[in-house]
Amino acid sequence: MYVLFINNQKAFVKSSKILIVANLLSSGFVLAQSPLDLKTKSSNELGLTISSYSYLEPSLSVSMKAINWGIDYTGIYAFGNNWFVLGNVNYNNGQVSYSGTGTQSGIPQYYFDIKGAIGHDFTFEEFNLSLYTGLGYRFLSQQWGGSSTSTGAVAYDRQSTYNYIPLGVIHRYSVPDNAELETTFEYDYLLSGNQYSGLSTLNGTRGGITYKGTPDVNNYQNSGYGLNLTVMYKESNWGIGPYIKYWNIQKSNTNYATISVNGTPTRYSAYEPANSTNEYGIKAIYRF
C-alpha cells in the first residue's frame, strides 16, 4: 500500500492501482517513500579481512608485527519485539616479525575469536541503536619453539587465551541508494586469561651452558580489556569498511621453579609482562 499526501491529508492507495498513482504524480502530487528499516534483521554475513597486527611488551622492548589475512562470519537471528541473538567467528593468520632479544621473521601465528551475544533494538526517528552483551573467547598461537633469534636466544611456542564479556552498541542510519552506515563499538571486559610458554624447549646445551628441568609455564592474566570499532557501508547483499581491534592486558602472576644450570640448582621466576595488541584492517562482506 502506498501513502499519498493530498492537500496535507493522508490517503491510502492500493499497490494494484498503479495507473491512479501515476496520474496523481503527473498532476504534481508527491509520493512519500517509507524510510529504510534499520532494525536488526536475521541474516548471514561472510567476510574477508586484511589487517596490520602489532603486539608490544614495553617493559622488555619486545615487539611482534605481522600482516594478517582472515575470514569472518556473523549470524543473526531476530526474534521480533526488538530482540535478537548474534554469533561471530573470525580467524586470522600471518607471519610475525619479532624484535627483542635479537630479531627473527617468518614466525607462524594464528588466532581465532568466538563470540555469542543477545541484544535489543532501540529505534529513533532517523537511526537505530542495538545494545548487546554475551560471552567471548580468543585464542592465539605462535609456533616457533626450538628456533633461534639473531643473537642466538632460543625461542619457544606461545599460546594466549582470553575469556571475556563483550558490551557493544551498533548505530545504524540510512544513506542514499537505499544503503546504511553501520558503526559498532564494543568494550571487552577480561574475565580470565592464560599465557602458555613452552619453556621446556630451553633444556639442553647451548653456548657451553646446560639447562635441565625447565618446565612449561602457564601464567594467569585476570586484569585487562579490549576495544573494537568497526564502520561498515552496507547495501542489501554486500558491505565494506575499516575496523580497529585493541587489547590491553596487565602483568600476570609469577611462577617459580628450580632448574639445573651446568649441574647447579638455580631458582628462577617467570611471568608475562603487561602488553598491548593493536590491529587495523579493512573488511569486505557478502550478506545472505
pLDDT digits (tens, 9 = 90+) for 24-53: 344 444 433 345 688 999 999 999 999 999
Calpha distance 108→188 (Å, rounded): 26
Q: In the beta sheet, which residues pair with residue 15?
A: none
**Are 105 and 6 members of one domain?**
no
**Are 11 and 47 members of one domain?**
no
Lowest mean pLDDT among 14-23, 27-36, 112-121, 138-147: 14-23
Which of 132, 134, 130 lies closest to 114 in space, CA to CA?
A: 134
Condensed to tens digits (0 to 9), the pLDDT of residues 56-114 reads 999 999 999 999 999 999 999 999 899 999 999 999 999 999 999 999 999 999 999 99
**Are 19 and 49 members of one domain?**
no
**Are 115 and 195 members of one domain?**
yes
pLDDT band of 17, cuts 50, 70, 90: very low
Which of 187, 185, 158, 156 lies closest to 172 in space, CA to CA?
A: 185
**Are 30 and 50 members of one domain?**
no
**Are 100 and 1 members of one domain?**
no
Share in percent of the chain as helix, strand, coil (round to 5):
5, 70, 25
pLDDT band of 146, cuts 50, 70, 90: confident
**Are 20 and 101 members of one domain?**
no
Q: What is the CATH number of the domain that holds 107?
A: 2.40.128.100
Q: Model's pTM, two decimal places? A: 0.84
Condensed to tens digits (0 to 9), the pLDDT of residues 237-255 reads 999 999 999 999 999 999 9
**Are 109 and 10 members of one domain?**
no
Identify whether the C-beta of residue 80 lies closer than 8 Å to the C-beta of residue 102: no
pLDDT of residue 22: 38
Q: What are the distances in angstroms from CA 95 to CA 51, 71, 104, 244, 245?
A: 12, 16, 11, 20, 18
Grouping H, G, I as helix, E, B as strand and the rest as coil, residue 244 is strand
How many domains does the structure of the chain reveal?
Answer: 2
pLDDT of residue 29: 40
| CA 57 from centroid of its chain's CA atoms | 20
**Are 164 and 102 members of one domain?**
yes
pLDDT of residue 234: 95
CA angle 238, 78, 287 (to 5 degrees): 10
**Are 89 and 216 members of one domain?**
yes
**Are 120 and 171 members of one domain?**
yes
**Helices vs. strands in the chain: H and E counts, helices first:** 1, 18
DSSP letter for each residue of 188-241: EEEEEEEEEE-GGGG-EEETTEEEE-PPPEEEEE--EEEEEEEEEEE-SSEEEE
> What's the whole-number mean pLDDT along residues 139-161?
91
**In a 10 Å sphere around its CB, with 0-12 CB exposed, 13-18 middle and 19+ buried, how is residue 152 labelled?**
exposed
pLDDT of residue 36: 66
Condensed to tens digits (0 to 9), the pLDDT of residues 114-126 reads 999 999 999 998 9
**Are 84 and 3 members of one domain?**
no
Grouping H, G, I as helix, E, B as strand and the rest as coil, residue 23 is helix
Domain with 22, as residue range(s), is 1-34
pLDDT of residue 205: 85
pLDDT of residue 211: 87
Identify whether the C-beta of residue 50 lies closer than 8 Å to the C-beta of residue 86: no
